[in-house]
Structure 1
């Protein structure tokens, strides 16, 4: 490397771009190097004279393509407006301005012009959500943004919690059937339509919702909903497609079981936490996301068809749009595509409607489960155990929901190696107190999953085999530590959560998901300002009460959480919260080498100090 590349001129700031451009020119053909050089370098010279740099690049352009530049190439002089070598005062200002202070003349600096504001500008209309309910009960929600691409989708109250009694896996089979043809389009035409729309269409279910969404240009919006409406209302449910689904469903579950973080922290956790029956003898929240491999036969085609007809109803659905859209126009579009078209109705001759759940409440029961851990593999080359310790938590209608969210971010966590680089999450308690102090811990994080009437909060840990009891004590100690939170810790957790919220809203896909879920859950959407107000209202006393309720300590059920006025219209502040009323009732999942290493409630209770 030439010496001048290591000592760039000090008469004015020089950017990395100039360094990269100069390095790249060393091996470029002469003519291309000449054009690149003139674009990046100063060519100031008296009128009518050719500058030294112009002369140099003119010679370079005439050389052979493989010719390299001479060693005595003069250092480049990069011109930045206001900071050239001929304006030392500006350069001095740049060098003497503290890094946390804006440079003079730039946005926020002392010489910057005042921002122009206009109360009637389009910016004041952005990120506002509007909601309309059509006569059939179908909802239309729009969030206007400045994006050209429109994200849109249909949200339906469906999912595994609505599986009927004889079967599990109905939601999974519905997902597999959805894009395998409609009554109007065969399978190959469905694939062709998806490609025509850019190949950006997904259809999937979780425990409470089924979502079909896509991203399209404005010109394709009408065509996309013509297609989505057909998928939602008229899936084909052919015998041939059902045979394919019967083969694919178990394979999906086997792939899930090979990922302990997703399997133990999701399906297993829910089956143990909500796996019992309600007082009506009905399974609800504990239904697995897919067909239970060992305990269930595949659902029949008639059962899948009836499951769709019972739940995919206009009053059960919402169509959402995020982008540069007009609300009234979107309401007209949805009216044409969904309101005037027929929806399927349940057929009592096929399946008894009384066996299909439509509004059952999930009931948390807790419990213990042990299974052998996976043998060493490429992802986990050493013998590894996994522990999931969960507790009942508030649902998204509970006034304590935001306090739990702050507590989750305060605990945080991460992995012993982060692909995002060092420093990510290092100020959270699980990172500082667990990962940094115990080198045998590979992974530790906290997470909460709220539902309509309840939820589950858990801490997941992956660690070296033989340390199961030690890991359980550590996790329990950290949960009890939520009763003693310093004000600066609380503020840091709020800042992290606030940052995550606003960063998430930068994504149109996340914005669509947030619009659809909130409008379907609350019939309203909480603005970012209202969300921040709710976060700011959380106190250290709120976190202490959340911890006490999670652990089922007596005397904590009468505590009233602070809810700002506007937020109290959305959250059910007057509802009696059932969580914490069962006492100490954990859900424990242990994946280890032998059953005698499984963690039990009695062991945790003996360490509960």
Structure 2
């Protein structure tokens, strides 16, 4: 049916093109193609008339290094040039939900929803889109625990228009009452999705393990707005937060695929304007200031007994109520620490994922959690290791889920795998697991850096944290230098810390926190780390 409609459309295309009244080159080319007589005369070896000259990439020894310039107002401008007619740039702010300790939780969540609406220059989002769309531009804002990003991907010819839009969104938003009300509805809708959509389960578990590891402080504060705060957050609270955290010394203007001198000139032109909250003291609450506290790892347990029996993803025969979720975390380090790279290799070595992959459960998956858990226990639905790092802290976690009747066994398996990280590296028929993990991490790093938006964020985050950006070659060398002794050392380091535990679902079979913590201590203290560790001994 669909193919028939497509054939019908193409059969009518010459008549459609004949009705177009325009002298634009692209339309003239369409007419040329649509004219049966002319199409026979087209040469396949000559450039079509009316099209711009094609630019081809050529081999070059030029190194595209990241350049950093700090303006007089404290704004850092960082960029890396690359081949292409498009670029990605934007502002990354040392902001985020970790700084909401003195504010109602959800301020940054609201700012994310309010981005790129009315400003002192643009009447609404439609006016902004009319500026960037002719250049093939896209704009986006993302709020995270430790930063807030305003970014645009656009053609090089539209850089100045895009920069004007971003500067207005960051420094001159009007935050009209109607827009705030729309943001309330958007936030409420997203919170409802978190509660009912099974695809959001991992988001909830991520929230819970952060809250458990950093009880009521910094990165442990909620990423999402609390339902009780939806109607409490108003214009004054939003502007006060922006006054305290949206200052030039806490910002990085990052660009990927853009000339550095051009980016600096645009920064001087558009990011020296007066912020809107500086023009009216009534917009600010002077009792609210800036939080300078560091993250304090606490450990502990958070449980959410939740009936998900009626929540399922489409025709999925297994409702989410048939799964119980658990995550166990241990404190590691920040990304400034020399152990950051070994911890990342360790996470890759454990690996893991879902029980189903193309061709069957775990086919071609040789990471430790696939071999020891997912391929061995048919009832485990998901098991994955992850190393989470921030500017001042970090934690290593294994998240897993299974039927609630197996929850006790699942917890035992997870903490057993954590204890075995301090043991010897496995070398078997599948090869050396450490060398494989190092190669996989290098491949993942280089693959991600093929994407301009990833390069943009990587530049911004590194410069925001340390004032410079280390090259991919630096990380490749560090990853390659990780040894078995390094893995055992960092594993011993994290196993000395108190665990953080998060669980959700039917938790009748969940062991107590003391039993989980004691089992980890006993497992670590035993010389034979590969032995089975009991939660009930």
In the TM superposition, what is the alpha-carbon distance from 1:123 to its structure 2 partner?
A: 2.9
Match of 2:190 among 240, 249, 252: 252
Match of 2:252 among 298, 310, 318: 318
Contact 1:141 1:321 in 2 (8 A): yes
Contact 2:343 2:487 in 1 (8 A): yes
Deviations 1:574-603 (A, max 9, x none): xxxxxxxxx4x1111111324x33343212
Deviations 1:213-268 (A, max 9, x none): 11111111111101111111111111111111222212212212334543333212
Which residue is 1:84 aligned to? none
Any stretches of 5+ residues in structure 2 without a counterpart? 1-6, 8-57, 524-537
Tell me how far apart the structure 2 counterparts of residues 182 and 296 of structure 1 sit (CA, whole Å): 23
Q: Which residues of 2 match residues 108-187 of structure 1 at below 5 A? A: 123-187=60-124
Distance 1:329 1:353, change over 3 A: same
In the TM superposition, what is the alpha-carbon distance from 1:298 to its structure 2 partner?
A: 3.0
In the TM superposition, what is the alpha-carbon distance from 1:389 to its structure 2 partner?
A: 1.0
Tell me how far apart the structure 2 counterparts of residues 469 and 513 of structure 1 sit (CA, whole Å): 40
User: Is 2:512 the counterpart of 1:600?
Assistant: yes
Which residue is 2:478 aligned to? 534
In the TM superposition, what is the alpha-carbon distance from 1:538 to its structure 2 partner?
A: 1.7
Tell me how far apart the structure 2 counterparts of residues 490 and 260 of structure 1 sit (CA, whole Å): 32
User: Is 2:452 the counterpart of 1:508?
Assistant: yes
Q: Which stretch has the larger CA shift, 495-504 or 411-420? A: 411-420
The count of corresponding residues between Structure 1 and Structure 2 is 450
Contact 2:362 2:374 in 1 (8 A): no
Contact 1:126 1:146 in 2 (8 A): no
Deviations 1:394-436 (A, max 9, x none): 1111111111100000000011113698767611001111100
Which residue is 2:434 aligned to? 490
Tell me how far apart the structure 2 counterparts of residues 178 and 142 of structure 1 sit (CA, whole Å): 23
Tell me how far apart the structure 2 counterparts of residues 175 and 423 of structure 1 sit (CA, whole Å): 38
Tell me how far apart the structure 2 counterparts of residues 437 and 326 of structure 1 sit (CA, whole Å): 53
In the TM superposition, what is the alpha-carbon distance from 1:131 to its structure 2 partner?
A: 0.6
User: Is 2:470 the counterpart of 1:522?
Assistant: no
User: Is 2:227 the counterpart of 1:293?
Assistant: yes
Tell me how far apart the structure 1 counterparts of residues 396 and 290 of structure 2 sit (CA, whole Å): 25
User: Is 2:357 the counterpart of 1:418?
Assistant: yes
Deviations 1:318-367 (A, max 9, x none): 111111x322222112111213x223556776555563334221111111
Contact 1:406 1:535 in 2 (8 A): yes
Deviations 1:153-193 (A, max 9, x none): 11111100111424100001111111221122111313433
Tell me how far apart the structure 1 counterparts of residues 103 and 68 of structure 2 sit (CA, whole Å): 37
> What SS does the aligned partner of 1:607 have?
helix
Tell me how far apart the structure 2 counterparts of residues 545 and 251 of structure 1 sit (CA, whole Å): 45
The higher relative CO (CA closer than 8 Å, separation ≥ 6) is in 2
> What SS does the aligned partner of 1:483 have?
coil
Deviations 1:529-563 (A, max 9, x none): 111121122221221122222221xxxxxxxxxxx
Which residue is 2:11 aligned to? none
Tell me how far apart the structure 2 counterparts of residues 536 and 222 of structure 1 sit (CA, whole Å): 41
Distance 1:421 1:358, change over 3 A: farther
Match of 2:133 among 176, 195, 204: 195
In the TM superposition, what is the alpha-carbon distance from 1:147 to its structure 2 partner?
A: 2.5
Q: Which has the higher helix share?
A: 2
Distance 1:603 1:459, change over 3 A: same
| Structure possessing the higher radius of gyration over alpha carbons | 1
Tell me how far apart the structure 2 counterparts of residues 449 and 353 of structure 1 sit (CA, whole Å): 35
Which residue is 1:305 aligned to? 239
Match of 2:145 among 194, 198, 207: 207
Q: Which residues of 2 match residues 388-407 of structure 1 at below 5 A? A: 388-407=327-346
Contact 1:390 1:457 in 2 (8 A): yes
Contact 1:385 1:591 in 2 (8 A): yes
User: Is 2:500 the counterpart of 1:587?
Assistant: yes
Distance 1:344 1:598, change over 3 A: farther
In the TM superposition, what is the alpha-carbon distance from 1:300 to its structure 2 partner?
A: 2.3
Tell me how far apart the structure 2 counterparts of residues 163 and 425 of structure 1 sit (CA, whole Å): 44
Tell me how far apart the structure 1 counterparts of residues 292 and 234 of structure 2 sit (CA, whole Å): 23
Q: Which stretch has the larger CA shift, 346-355 or 147-156? A: 346-355
User: Is 2:396 the counterpart of 1:457?
Assistant: yes
Tell me how far apart the structure 2 counterparts of residues 599 and 184 of structure 1 sit (CA, whole Å): 58
Tell me how far apart the structure 2 counterparts of residues 420 and 151 of structure 1 sit (CA, whole Å): 37
> What SS does the aligned partner of 2:448 have?
helix
TM-score (norm 1): 0.70
In the TM superposition, what is the alpha-carbon distance from 1:522 to its structure 2 partner?
A: 1.3
> What SS does the aligned partner of 1:202 have?
strand
Tell me how far apart the structure 1 counterparts of residues 359 and 104 of structure 2 sit (CA, whole Å): 42
Deviations 1:48-99 (A, max 9, x none): xxxxxxxxxxxxxxxxxxxxxxxxxxxxxxxxxxxxxxxxxxxxxxxxxxxx
Tell me how far apart the structure 2 counterparts of residues 387 and 174 of structure 1 sit (CA, whole Å): 31
> What SS does the aligned partner of 1:223 have?
helix
Contact 2:137 2:155 in 1 (8 A): no
Contact 1:504 1:510 in 2 (8 A): yes
Tell me how far apart the structure 1 counterparts of residues 307 and 485 of structure 2 sit (CA, whole Å): 39
Q: Which residues of 2 match residues 244-393 of structure 1 at below 5 A? A: 244-257=182-195, 258=197, 259=199, 261-276=201-216, 283-293=217-227, 298-323=232-257, 325-339=258-272, 341-344=273-276, 352-353=285-286, 355-371=288-304, 372-379=306-313, 381-382=318-319, 383-393=322-332
Deviations 1:274-314 (A, max 9, x none): 123xxxxxx32221112112577632221011111221111
Tell me how far apart the structure 2 counterparts of residues 540 and 386 of structure 1 sit (CA, whole Å): 31
Any stretches of 5+ residues in structure 1 without a counterpart? 1-27, 29-120, 277-282, 553-582
